[in-house]
Amino acid sequence: MTGRGRLPRVDRMTSPPPRSPGAPSSPRPRRAGARLTLTLASLAMIGPFSIDSIFPAFTRIGAEFGADEVGLQQLVSAYLAAFAVMSVFHGPLSDALGRKKVMIGGLVIYLIGMFGSIIAPSLGSLVLLRMLQGMSAGAATIVSRVVIRDLFDGAEAQRLMARVMMIFALAPAIAPIVGGWLLLLGDWRWAFAGVGLYGMVVLALTLTLPETLPPEDRTPVRVRSLLGSLLHVGRSPVMLRIAAATAFGFAAQFLFIAGASIFVVRLLGLGEQDFWVLFVPLIAGLMSGSWVVGRAAERMPRSRLITVGFLGVVATTALNLLLVSLLPGPPGGLSLALLPAVIGPMLIAFTVALVFAPIQLEVLDLFPHQRGAAASLGTFFSLVLNALLAGMIAPLVSGTLVSFALTALGFALLGLGFWTWHLRTHARAVQQVAG
């Protein structure tokens, strides 16, 4: 029961793995400095800025190109679908070429797609450019998580992941606000230009990062090796259960982000500059939850924290359903009547944050020799579901606030179900090993 057997995976549920060939051979820093933390957080924020900053521009894009609500949602779903497909390859490529090269190459292609959007002559061409952005953005966001685990073990890795999450959480709040302000300068193209400028700053910061995977620890640069790595990781039942739990749990919150333009403008009756009403409470919840994760790094076993988080997601989505069910009707303007509609999403975000950082480390520790591939496949399921949320599910369930809340509760229950299945399977494995 060694090597690729069950026993090492059982051990990794409760303690970090020993240093492996998938980690840097040079001495690791004991603590993450502010510069490293901010750079990694900036890389992670590429995704939210790419999605949320253009929400305020939807009305103007639709007016110029004659697009309806469903057509405009494809600007989000096309980005997410392309992100999901390419996410499978970013991690293995970083295992073969090194983390830094993949991140920089992805950012360069991303900037081409973002600035190309400024001159898009039609909605179809804009959707294609959004696909290019999605194909390349994952190189920054996915690989930056692997860098954290390359550099740090155990509690410090969880603390750094939580700090990155706290800063990252600002992006969904800032992005739509900045997007709305940029529209005061001109048409919808200003929103894309603003994100492009942010991408240039992130590229400059990435150039200062060290390479965390030395050449002697890399996998061969061959298609067969890359696909073999993905196959080895992808056929792990443990990986599949944890990835499914992550995807559904996060979807309980992401539903509100993917459908933000519908939720804020139509269901709450607000305008282009009012997206902060949803996103500020969401971010407050995410930051608070991430702070708790950092404080719990040495106080609570990782699997127990994840369990508490999933139970919390179910409880808060149920509370959100109760709150919106008691509303007499759409608030229809900025007033205290909005509070029941936004308190629920804030609490959901808090509990989702309890899950996000520790479960990412759980995935990476399953395959210490193939962290890039593990990060890619661990993210893939969430991204596919997010794309479906943006392009199909959010428009379908956007009839009322109650239908939004019911859908979020359904995702939360599925996430808890997969995590419970994983824990029970793990417990049986422990008993078999002990026997």
| pLDDT of amino acid 78 | 86
Average pLDDT for residues 139-159, to the nearest whole number? 82
d(CA 250, CA 87): 17
pLDDT in tens, 167-197: 877 776 688 788 888 888 888 899 999 999 9
> Domain extents for the chain?
35-434
Distance of CA 263 to the CA centre of its chain: 20
| pLDDT of amino acid 435 | 60
Burial bucket for residue 329 (CB in 10 Å: 0-12, 13-18, 19+): exposed
| Whole-prediction pTM | 0.68
Average pLDDT for residues 280-295, to the nearest whole number? 86
pLDDT in tens, 62-109: 889 888 877 887 888 888 788 888 887 887 888 888 889 999 999 999
pLDDT of residue 364 exceeding 50: yes
Return left, alpha or beta for 373; rule: phi > 0 is left, psi -120 to 50 is alpha, else beta.
alpha
- Domain 35-434: give its CATH code: 1.20.1250.20
